[in-house]
């Protein structure tokens, strides 16, 4: 009985993997938990030094993907609109740091067993906008940056689920100008550090 059940599970895994095999394209969407780098600056005439770490918050993404499939590996480029959010406490006030960007991950995947696979690759990122609550902030220093994606996924028919970690390779800062209460100068590190949960559908 156990042997028959084991064979049935293997057959189901093989059928599921076969349903996802082959090159193709589709859509994807999901949620992320992001923390940017430190905010470093000064407040007021006394030039009070501050260093504030970010508090992580939930963001979202949606986009398209394509796939070139080979026997044990695959190449998967994606084009994704991403909205990240984190929070800084400055002078007693909480300010949400919102960043909108276009991500283009180019992933190399390896098929482990059945529907399971792992992947890694660079993510080319273009920042569209950034906003820090009530504080005036300039655009990021570099609109175009590069990060790294690495993760684990499972394919269930036409549906795919994956979890990945993304990290920016280098600091990308935006300069603080001030707010309505106190003069603030300094910079905030917009480099992302996020865990991303995605669902994808093959069309």
* Average pLDDT, integer, range 86-105: 86
What's the predicted TM-score (pTM) here? 0.80
Question: Going by DSSP bridges, is the β-strand pair 193-202/144-156 parallel, antiparallel, or unpaired?
Answer: unpaired
Number of structural domains in the chain: 1
Count Cα atoms within 13 angstroms, Cβ side, for 81. Answer: 5
**pLDDT greater than 60 at residue 84:** yes
Q: Give pLDDT, residue 44.
A: 63
pLDDT of residue 7: 43
Whole-number pLDDT of residue 10: 39
pLDDT band at 95 (very low <50, low <70, confident <90, very high): confident
User: Any residues with CB less than 8 A from the CB of 109 and at least 6 apart, and which?
Assistant: 73, 74, 75, 76, 117, 118, 119, 153
What integer best gives the mean pLDDT of the chain? Answer: 82
Dist. CA 122–CA 147, nearest whole Å? 6
pLDDT tens, 101-156? 999 999 999 999 989 999 999 999 999 998 888 777 888 888 899 999 999 999 99
Assign residue 35 the CATH number of its domain: 2.40.160.20
What does the alpha-carbon distance between residue 29 and residue 18 come to, in Å, rounded to a whole number?
23
Q: Encode pLDDT of 9-21 as tens digits.
A: 334 344 334 444 6
State residue 20's pLDDT score: 46
Percent of residues, the chain, with pLDDT higher than 90: 49
Kindly state the average pLDDT of the residues 176-180: 64
What mean pLDDT comes out for the span 184-188? 75
DSSP for 22-82, written as a single string: SSEEEEEEEEEEE----EEEEETTTTEEEEEPPEEEEEEEEEEEEEEE-SSEEEEEEEEEE
Residue pLDDT, tens place only, 33-52: 998 877 877 766 555 667 77
Please report which confidence band the pLDDT of residue 188 belongs to, taking 50, 70 and 90 as the band edges.
confident
Exposure letters 10-24 (e unless 16+ CB within 10 A, then b): eeeeeebbeebeeee
Contacts of 158 by beta carbon, 8 Å cutoff, 6+ apart: 19, 20, 26, 201, 202
Q: Which of 138, 149, 64 is nearest to 107 (CA)?
A: 149
| Rounded-to-integer distance, Cα 177 and Cα 138, Å | 7
Answer whether 27's CB lies under 8 Å from 64's CB.
Answer: yes
Domain that holds residue 190: 2-202
pLDDT value for 121? 97
């Amino acid at each position: 009985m156990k042997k028959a059940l084991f064979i049935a599970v293997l057959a189901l895994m093989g059928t599921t993997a076969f349903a996802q095999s082959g090159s193709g394209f589709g859509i994807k969407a999901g949620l992320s938990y992001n923390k940017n780098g430190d905010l470093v600056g000064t407040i007021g005439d006394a030039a009070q030094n501050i260093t504030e770490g970010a508090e992580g918050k939930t963001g979202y993404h949606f986009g398209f993907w394509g796939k070139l499939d080979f026997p044990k590996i695959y190449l998967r480029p994606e084009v994704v609109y991403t909205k990240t959010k984190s929070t800084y406490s400055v002078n007693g006030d909480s300010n949400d740091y919102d960043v909108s960007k276009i991500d283009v991950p180019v992933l190399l995947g390896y098929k482990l067993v059945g529907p399971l696979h792992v992947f890694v690759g660079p993510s080319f990122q273009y920042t569209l906008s950034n906003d820090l609550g009530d504080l005036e902030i300039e655009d990021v220093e570099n609109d175009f940056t590069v990060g790294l994606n690495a993760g684990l996924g499972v394919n269930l028919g036409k549906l795919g689920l994956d979890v990945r970690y993304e990290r920016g390779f280098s600091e990308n800062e935006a300069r603080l100008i001030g707010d309505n209460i106190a003069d603030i100068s300094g910079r905030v590190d917009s480099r992302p550090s996020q865990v991303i949960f995605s669902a994808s559908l093959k069309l």
